[in-house]
Homo-oligomer: A and B are copies of this chain.
Amino acid sequence: MSNNCTIGEYLINRLRALGVEHIFGIPGDYVLGFYKALEDSPLQLINTGDEQGAGFAADAYARLRGLGVVVVTYTVGGLKVANTTAQAYAEKSPVVVISGAPGVEERVRRPLLHHKVKQYNSQYKIFQELTTAATVLDNPETAAREIDRVLHAALSRKRPVYIELPRDMVSKPCPNPTANPLPKVKSNPDALREALKEAVEAINAARQPVILAGVELHRFGLQDELIRFFEKTNIPLASTILGKSIVNEHRSHYLGVYEGALGQTDVTEYVESSDCLLMLGAFMTDVNLGIYTAHLDQGRSISVTSEKTSIRYHTYENIRLKDFLHGLLEADIRPRELGNIPRPPAPQEFQPTDQPITVKRLFQRLNSFLEDNTVVMTDTGDAMFGALDLAVHGRTKYLSPAYYTSLGFAVPGSIGAQAANPNLRPLVIVGDGAFQMTGMELATAVRYGMNPIVVVLNNAGYGTERPMLDGEFNDVSDWQFHKLPE
């Protein structure tokens, strides 16, 4: 990293080095200088209609690309992404929130600059509650170190972070670039060895081990390791709701989504009767637990996440999920017969009839319509629960706020998804209530030449705006929304 750059340039260079190619946001006066620097860089700006849309888009981008960035102005922009940042925190999506702010100098001289709320540091204090690391770049001497500290936190913990950039700092020289910006996080080798030994013994002794695959396998990009592990051992896997689409769901080892009593009965019974449940990167939220209808016996479980490793009733600290999974791959685990396991229902050929469409038949139709490049984006509610039955083809091809359950994610999220990978075709499934909140972002998709397919589940929530569907489900064919906003 060159020593001759500004703070704004250093931040941009670091983001690019971490694979970021797109920025989502809306300019405003306190962030104009940084927007100018962004425009002069190879990063592509995507301006959404409302900051909320930018926040959701950056979250989807982060889920697919490993890091997403939203750039907003002070308070009137920043506070509009409080909710989307909270979602990223709850669901472990590494989003970098960059907010412009009044200059360090003018904060002293001017007590009442526009956009100010209580104190100049109010927004910083708010984002401390919503992120895993936060900083105000108010000192050029420490700016590089601070940028790298928070970016490292985002990447290692897969949580959002907050960088506040006072407008008089953007063009200041940035000395002291960090020598080793991303120090490697290591497992405690002794704890890792002991935990692996216990786990391998339990797996080998088990009659019916089952893997429960969680969201962190997506976030840490451990799908290859997961596939090698279940192919080597023939241990079948289910996913949590938030972990859905961890593998191509047509794979023979895949049982389906485990969701307690709310799910497919044979999958629930199979998972709950396991005498060794290997939970990888799975968080036991109320939604993942089928609103507490799950019966998982901790005395027969092994759970490994980036935060904690538990075997039965005891815990280990400082074990990385990746190291644990690599250890399992190298360990002497006996392969077994896959046997006769529950399987998700196969997509059926859609039979056109004269009957009114039902939700069930809609999802049947959508199921046979999925292709390899389809990424299913669902909003909260019926859209999310209905779509759990869709057999997704690829890994990380189902994005849904399945724990935080905020409304309004899917439409702007599809913009982030298609920016992250232009070969993807988002299939957005959204309720009418959620569509009212962020559906206007379709205009953003049009502006940037994107082509999500949007299905609005019009269940007469509020009975107001129904711009895409004319009152009822009469049509579930391949909509091209860009023919609609005329």
**Quick one: given A114-B286, A285-B114, A462-B47, are A79 and B83 in contact (CB under 8 Å)?**
yes
Instruction: Return the chain B residue nearest A109 by Cβ.
Output: B292
Min CB gap A220→B, angstroms: 19
Instruction: Return the chain B residue nearest A288 by Cβ.
Output: B112
Q: From B49, B80, B126, B407, give the contact of A129 (CB < 8 A).
A: B126
Q: From B75, B80, B114, give the contact of A52 (CB < 8 A).
A: B80
Min CB gap A49→B, angstroms: 4
Min CB gap A379→B, angstroms: 12
CB-defined A-B contacts under 8 Å, sample of 13: A75-B86, A75-B406, A76-B86, A79-B82, A82-B83, A114-B403, A115-B406, A117-B129, A118-B129, A119-B129, A436-B440, A440-B440, A443-B464
> Whole-angstrom distance between the alpha carbons of A83 and B388 in the complex?
34
Q: Are A50 and B112 in contact (CB under 8 A)?
A: no
Min CB gap A279→B, angstroms: 14
Q: Is A32 an interface residue (CB 8 A)?
A: no
3 closest residue pairs by CB, A with B: A49-B436, A79-B83, A76-B406
> Whole-angstrom distance between the alpha carbons of A260 and B253 in the complex?
73
Q: Is A444 an interface residue (CB 8 A)?
A: yes
Q: Is A214 an interface residue (CB 8 A)?
A: no
> Whole-angstrom distance between the alpha carbons of A116 and B436 in the complex?
24
**Residues of A near any B CB (own CB < 8 A):** 47, 49-50, 52, 75-76, 79-80, 82-83, 86-87, 89-90, 110, 112-119, 122-123, 125-126, 129-130, 283-287, 292, 403-408, 436-440, 443-444, 446-447, 462-465, 467, 485
What's the dominant secondary structure at chain A's contact region?
loop
> Whole-angstrom distance between the alpha carbons of A478 and B453 in the complex?
37
> Whole-angstrom distance between the alpha carbons of A456 and B440 in the complex?
16
Q: Are B79 and A75 in contact (CB under 8 A)?
A: no
Q: Are B464 and A114 in contact (CB under 8 A)?
A: no
**Residues of B close to A82: CB separation below 8 A:** 79-80, 82-83, 126
**Residues of B close to A447: CB separation below 8 A:** 462-464
**Quick one: given A52-B52, A440-B440, A447-B462, are A404 and B112 in contact (CB under 8 Å)?**
no
Q: Are A116 and B129 in contact (CB under 8 A)?
A: no
> Whole-angstrom distance between the alpha carbons of A200 and B26 in the complex?
50
Min CB gap A38→B, angstroms: 16
8 new A-B contacts at CB < 8 Å, known A112-B284, A115-B406? A49-B436, A50-B52, A50-B436, A76-B83, A86-B122, A110-B292, A117-B404, A436-B440
**Residues of B close to A285: CB separation below 8 A:** 112-114
Q: From B50, B112, B122, give the contact of A283 (CB < 8 A).
A: B112
Interface centre among A76, A110, A439, A485 (most CB of B within 10 A): A76
Min CB gap A465→B, angstroms: 4
Instruction: Return the chain B residue nearest A380 by Cβ.
Output: B76
**Residues of B close to A436: CB separation below 8 A:** 49-50, 440, 443
> Whole-angstrom distance between the alpha carbons of A284 and B111 in the complex?
9
Q: From B89, B119, B122, give the contact of A117 (CB < 8 A).
A: B89
